[in-house]
Structure 1
Amino acid sequence: MSATDVVHGTLTALFAAAAVHALRQAVLTQGSGWRGRGDSLLHTVMASAMAMMPWYGMGEGPSPGRTTFFFAAAALWFPSTAILGPRGPRRDGLLHRAPHAVGMAAMAWMPVRHGGVTDARTADVVTAVLTLCLLAYALRSLTRDMPTLRGAPGSVGGSRDLGRLYDRFWQGTTAMGAAIMLLTHH
């Protein structure tokens, strides 16, 4: 087994587990409403696609045009549902949903980048911006509650807090995996 196969296997396991987590959120979470279920279903599709992606070469698997269109629409879902929410447009809602939109935009960008549709310099700049955004979100998600975990005031006390930590873990690891996938060449 080559080092590349080990990385591909690790990413596949990560994204398959993330897909199961997102599907569980969509099906079992009570009171999340249509927006929460839509979010979880989009994350399920994204994680499922990412789990299969390492094993396909470009030009294999789903049509790049349809993939790009689907994930571009998914990227628009997050800010549009923040704007069209029941309480009207809110800046904090847009900021909260922006990382999810960036992840979907990265999924839309991957077939474009690898398909050679744009010039190399533009492709590198867009890839770098998306990767930096994903890495920043991953690090924020994975380290946000670290002082809490060390027993500082306001430490994790209930299952609701553990659920939030669990969600941040999945969000952070998925963003980290997506950043790795953006940088790998098939």
Structure 2
Amino acid sequence: MLTVLFAAAAIHELRHRVLPRSSGWRVRIDGLLHTVMAVAMSAMTWSWGAQVPTRAQAVFFAAAALWFPLSALSRRGARLPAAARSLPSAAGMAAMAWMARPMAGSGHETPAVHAGHSTGDPGTHDAGTVILVLYLLACALRSLTRDMPGLRRNTSSPHTPAVKDLYGHFCEGAMQLGTVVMLLLHQ
């Protein structure tokens, strides 16, 4: 089921943010990063997904986590609330980098890497996982429930959210819930 969820999220991102010519270059990069994340999460659910180089994965997703708030702040006239709105995306990317950490000692890396991870403080790892899980869970619940009052309204109302927004929020929330599940499974 997780594979289907992540594959659907990847297709949604491609269709609505990456492929449309009307999207700006930042929106396309945001969508591409979300697509890569969804594809990587889909691969992680299978045993052959462990063949992805973990260091490269950790570096890529850590850089992607920084991209979202820095990109939001670099926009002309941007303020701190714009960067705050990018935090759920940054947290999802940070969770991907965080999940790559414990997998680095899973047998396909050097013994030195494995030894380095086995001597790490498990309390720090657990605290980081708990923080990411709680934040992503709160973001998922917000994304999944934010349009519920709009669903009860008459469709002829001018205040009804567009169907595209409803699907987008549902997809965001589902992806965040899937990331929570994957974080807990990698614990």
TM-score tier, shorter chain, comes to 0.7 to 0.9
In 2, distance between residues paired with 1:154 and 1:95? Answer: 33
Superposed displacement of residue 165, structure 1: 0.8
Are 1:75 and 1:103, in contact at CA under 8 Å, matched by a contact in 2?
yes
TM-score normalised to structure 2 length: 0.85
Higher mean C-alpha displacement, 68-77 vs 110-119: 110-119
SS of the residue corresponding to residue 32 of structure 1 reads coil
In 1, distance between residues paired with 2:155 and 2:9? Answer: 31
Are 1:149 and 1:156, in contact at CA under 8 Å, matched by a contact in 2?
no
- 1:28 maps onto 2:30 in alignment: no
Superposed displacement of residue 56, structure 1: 2.4
1:97 alignment partner, one of 86, 103, 108: 86
- 1:68 maps onto 2:70 in alignment: no
- 1:41 maps onto 2:32 in alignment: yes
Are 1:137 and 1:175, in contact at CA under 8 Å, matched by a contact in 2?
yes
Query: Between Structure 1 and Structure 2, how many residues are aligned?
Result: 174
State the percentage of identical aligned residues: 48
Q: Once the two structures are superposed, what CA deviation does each residue of 1:56-112 show, in whole Å capped at 9, x if it has no partner?
A: 278x3111110000000000000110111122x312211111100000000000011
Q: Which amino acid aligns with 2:9?
A: A
Q: Once the two structures are superposed, what CA deviation does each residue of 1:23-47 show, in whole Å capped at 9, x if it has no partner?
A: 1123433432111000000000000
CA RMSD of aligned residues (A): 2.3
- 1:167 maps onto 2:168 in alignment: yes
Name the CA shift for 1:28/1:173 in 2 (closer, same or farther; >3 Å). same
Are 2:143 and 2:169, in contact at CA under 8 Å, matched by a contact in 1?
yes
In 1, distance between residues paired with 2:133 and 2:156? Answer: 32
Aligned to 1:82: 72
Q: Which amino acid aligns with 2:27?
A: G
In 2, distance between residues paired with 1:147 and 1:85? Answer: 32
TM-score normalised to structure 1 length: 0.85
Name the CA shift for 1:156/1:171 in 2 (closer, same or farther; >3 Å). farther
